[in-house]
A and B are shown apart, each in its own frame.
Chain A
Amino acid sequence: GQQVMQIPQYQHVQEGEDFTTYCNSSTTLSNIQWYKQRPGGHPVFLIQLVKSGEVKKQKRLTFQFGEAKKNSSLHITATQTTDVGTYFCAGTTTSGTYKYIFGTGTRLKVLA
């Protein structure tokens, strides 16, 4: 079936270090979104990417959509303790029964 995998599953970084999570889909996606879920909280929408090769930035966060529209990445520069949480990608598929699939998530822990 359709899957969206994220790596790594867990990441511990020292405050100030960079962090990247990768999202890989088994099928082509028409768009991709990223969400952040703080510990004990709910997923909060961060951004949507639609075009092949698209790159968007939000302050220290850089989001990229792959040329083949099957993968994406989220890069955080100089992490802060407020970046702690689980980051999910979610893709809208171009075919199949699922319209929207969430990735497996990457849990980020930032050590002060």
Chain B
Amino acid sequence: DTAVSQTPKYLVTQMGNDKSIKCEQNLGHDTMYWYKQDSKKFLKIMFSYNNKELIINETVPNRFSPKSPDKAHLNLHINSLELGDSAVYFCASSQEGPRFYGYTFGSGTRLTVV
């Protein structure tokens, strides 16, 4: 009954590989997000989707491509991984409008590029 679930929890991969992270929410929220948290704990938004439509596309290398097949899922595909991509990636969801009351985060995916 997890509200926002991400897989995998840990991902160790070599430079140059392509990898995907999946996210699903069962809260009925209409907006989903990807955040990157670096080693200094800074949380930076990468993408935001509202009802499958991309609404925020932060300055992120185009090696990162989000995909939202429906409003309950938002996946993140990363091509040609680099050392600097190592971080914790959090998926989150929220309900926009008057019922907005904070983000619900997934448990995160710790990506290590070696």
**Interface status of A59 (Cβ within 8 A of chain B):** no
B107 touches A99 (CB 8 A): no
Which residues of chain A in 12-71 are interfacial with respect to chain B, using CB atoms and an 8 Å cutoff? 33, 35, 37, 41-45, 48
- Please give the residue numbers on chain A whose beta carbons come within 8 Å of chain B beta carbons, in ascending order: 33, 35, 37, 41-45, 48, 86, 88, 90, 92, 97-102, 104-105, 107
Q: How far is the CA of A86 from the CA of B104 in the complex (A)?
A: 16
Give, as a whole number of angstroms, the nearest-CB distance from A72 to chain B: 14
B104 touches A45 (CB 8 A): yes
B-side contacts of A107, CB under 8 Å = 41
Known pairs A44-B105, A48-B102; A98 contacts B45 (CB<8 A): yes
Q: Which one, B45, B48, B102, B107, contacts A42 given CB within 8 A?
A: B107
A-side contacts of B45, CB under 8 Å = 98, 100-102
Given contacts A43-B105, A90-B103, A107-B41, 14 further A-B contacts (CB under 8 A): A33-B103, A42-B90, A43-B103, A45-B101, A45-B102, A45-B103, A45-B104, A48-B102, A98-B56, A102-B42, A102-B44, A104-B42, A105-B42, A105-B43
Known pairs A42-B90, A43-B90; A102 contacts B43 (CB<8 A): yes
Which residues of chain B in 42-70 are interfacial with respect to chain A, using CB atoms and an 8 Å cutoff? 42-45, 48, 56
B103 touches A42 (CB 8 A): no
Which residues of chain B in 66-114 are interfacial with respect to chain A, using CB atoms and an 8 Å cutoff? 90, 100-108
